[in-house]
Structure 1
Amino acid sequence: MTSAVTAIPAAPSDVAREHFAAEFTFETDCYDVHDALAKGADFVLLDVRGPALYAKGHVPGAINLPHGKIIRSKLAEWPEETLFVTYCAGPHCNGAARGALRLADLGRPVKIMAGGLTGWIDEGFELAVGDA
């Protein structure tokens, strides 16, 4: 009996390897962001939610820049080669992808923090509270 899982065959290993390896060029995870922040981040972490949600709780060290406000002039303080990592509420939210798309449209290197704030909390990491 064939299940919904096996009805469509898996990709050949070489194709699967290429696909999964490519994912790491687009995403990072909460643990790696946490570890990098503790060691001195070599990227800018952007919380792309609105200011009210940011103030309720955000990743320590993240800068609040809502995805709809990502414009060239707001990025001027960082060199063109600066990597930005975006996150939003979690897997149920597409704000991180919206922010990443805006950054890519501006020619900026970007990744998404998979899991967003939900993933951060699930990992047991602390949140910062407040505006700054």
Structure 2
Amino acid sequence: MNSVTAIPAAPAAEAEAHFSKRLSLETDCADVSAAMALPDPGFVLLDVRGPKAYARGHVPGAINLPHAAITEETLKGHPAGTLFVVYCAGPHCNGADRGALRLARLGLPVKLMLGGVTGWIDEGFDLETAAVAQA
């Protein structure tokens, strides 16, 4: 016996429910990359970090909307039922969770891109840069 086998695996139906639930809430960088290469990925990708972090490097095609700025007003240009995928800096950051929570509280479908910018880079994908708007 070892630490892997000391606790038996869950029954298959329980495992199916668990992993199905996780996949309904999360996606990964490779799946986002593949979808963003399509004419219509089926979601809006939100970088929920601040404008300076976004300008230094973001996932191509992502819109910058810091999590604190997610409101009905800032999202009014998107049709009802739009799926949003959110990301932040990476596993050390909870900005994507905060953004996802705000979207869910607005009654909108949302998934979190696991790994954020760190995961994107780890997968070998390139970031793009943008100029920072001056107020």
TM-score after normalising by structure 2: 0.91
Do structure 1's residue 24 and structure 2's residue 23 form an aligned pair? yes
Do structure 1's residue 126 and structure 2's residue 126 form an aligned pair? yes
Do structure 1's residue 106 and structure 2's residue 78 form an aligned pair? no
By how many angstroms is 1:62 displaced? 0.4
For residues 52-86 of structure 1, the C-alpha deviation after alignment (integer angstroms, 9 at most, x for no partner) is 11110000110011111101100000011110000
Letter in structure 2 aligned against 1:44? V
Which structure is higher in helix share? 1
TM-score after normalising by structure 1: 0.92
- Work out the CA distance in 1 between the residues paired with 2:113 and 2:30: 9
Q: Which runs of 5+ in 2 are unaligned?
A: none
Alignment of 1:47-126 (within 5 A): 47-126=47-126
By how many angstroms is 1:4 displaced? 3.9
- Work out the CA distance in 1 between the residues paired with 2:7 and 2:131: 48
Name the SS for the 2:85 alignment partner: strand
- Work out the CA distance in 1 between the residues paired with 2:113 and 2:107: 19
Alignment of 1:33-52 (within 5 A): 33-40=32-39, 41-52=41-52
- Work out the CA distance in 1 between the residues paired with 2:118 and 2:124: 10
Preserved contact between residue 51 and residue 131 of structure 1 (Cα < 8 Å): no
By how many angstroms is 1:13 displaced? 1.6
Runs of 4+ in 1 over 6 A off after TM superposition: none
Preserved contact between residue 54 and residue 131 of structure 1 (Cα < 8 Å): no
- Work out the CA distance in 1 between the residues paired with 2:68 and 2:7: 38
By how many angstroms is 1:6 displaced? 3.7
